[in-house]
Structure 1
Amino acid sequence: MKDVFSASALRVLVLDDEVDAAKSLCHQLDASGCHAVDCQNGPAGLALAAQLEPHLVIIALDMLGMYSCDVVRHMRLQDSSSLAMVIGLAGHDSRNGLSTSPGCLFDALIAKPIHGDTMTALVREAEGKTLHLRMPIQRPTAPTALRAAFMRQTTRAGPAQSTWTADS
């Protein structure tokens, strides 16, 4: 896992027991400006998700160690508000029937391998859903024009005849 994550980068957790596929997907995500981390089983993925607080999770449906729907259910129940999307990766046409399966909380199901255009669209959707979480807090550095006008308020003939000067 990377030690330092940019506050504005999309954090992605890739869960796939196929090591080469997971690493390849992480490299593709890193190249697109994300901070991607991979893990090869469900229980370790849950522990890593608690530390990483990912915005996007991409999980293989046929992963060993824990049923993928159970992993997703546990992640959704964790006390993290950062998780915006969960994508299920289906290999060998294993996505039949899962899109309507109650209790599986995937936002989308896509077939392996993920093509560049599909990945770009998914990353953009996740970025849009997490923009408010990734933006640094900006504090105002100068008073607004209305506040400045209020600060320059002058009283000429007592409180009943106050006048405003809106000199900018």
Structure 2
Amino acid sequence: MESIQQGSARRILVVEDEPTIAESIAARLRAEGFTVELAHDGPAAVAAAASLLPDLVVLDVMLPGFDGLEVCRRIQAHRPVPVLMLTARTDETDVLIGLGVGADDYLTKPFSLRVLTARIHALLRRVERTATPGATIVVGDLRIDTDQRRVWRAEAETQLTPLEFELLVHLARRPRAVLARDRLLSEIWGWPDASGTRAVDSHIKALRRKLGSDLIRTVHGVGYALEAR
């Protein structure tokens, strides 16, 4: 693991085994004012995430040691952190697997560094936007502390990834209102069109798995509504 210090409070862990790509990403992020840490394989990435506590992780899927999907599972189990996944795979199933293990967003290689930095800034803004100091949302037996980013259902606390948390807050602030997939994509992901609706479905599935299958109602062909009682 290497360290590239830039004096910014925002620290990003870049996990990429191709040196040229890793250095290009690091140089661009340095120019944006971030502190950048580099790891080049699965085990080093997990160790770096645990010791450095980054604000965001840029994570390649194909890594030596073990792959990025396993890295994502392990770091999210230890501490929820926004993850932007990089993949050379174009199959939608691979993308959905990445989202299912806790990635918040993804880019398919080759990608523009301008687009990468825009996605990173958007992910960090999402985390800041969700945290309203002192705000607690209660809907039935669901309780959300947006200040501490903690969630309970029937007094049992559940750990969510940053994007799962924001999606839940978004639904909980409008209980029983049906929110369309394209609206969720625009307001949470910042995507201008509906091309990523499967990403919404994947995160809804994760919320149901963690908080109960009865929590969110599907309105077929439209979107989702929070139905906690």
TM-score normalised by length of structure 2: 0.49
* AA matched with 2:115: T
**SS at 2:93 equivalent:** coil
Paired position in structure 2 for 1:39 = 39
Aligned pairs for 1:132-147 (under 5 A) are none
Structure with higher Rg: it is: 1
* Structure 2 stretches lacking a partner, 5+ long: 130-229
Percent identity between matched residues is 26
Structure 2: distance between partners of 1:3 and 1:124: 19
TM-score normalised by length of structure 1: 0.65
Matched, 1:14 2:14: yes
Paired position in structure 2 for 1:104 = 101
Structure 2: distance between partners of 1:72 and 1:15: 11
Instruction: Identify, as 1 or 2, the structure richer in strand.
Output: 2
| Larger RCO (CA within 8 A; separation ≥ 6) | 1
Q: Is residue 86–residue 106 contact of structure 1 (8 Å, CA) maintained in 2?
A: yes
Instruction: Identify, as 1 or 2, the structure richer in helix.
Output: 2
CA RMSD of aligned residues (A): 2.4
Matched, 1:88 2:85: yes
Q: Is residue 17–residue 63 contact of structure 1 (8 Å, CA) maintained in 2?
A: yes
**SS at 1:113 equivalent:** coil
Q: Is residue 59–residue 88 contact of structure 1 (8 Å, CA) maintained in 2?
A: yes
* Structure 1 stretches lacking a partner, 5+ long: 133-168
Question: Hey, which bits of structure 1, 4+ residues long, moved more than 6 A?
Answer: none
Structure 2: distance between partners of 1:123 and 1:10: 11
Aligned length: 127
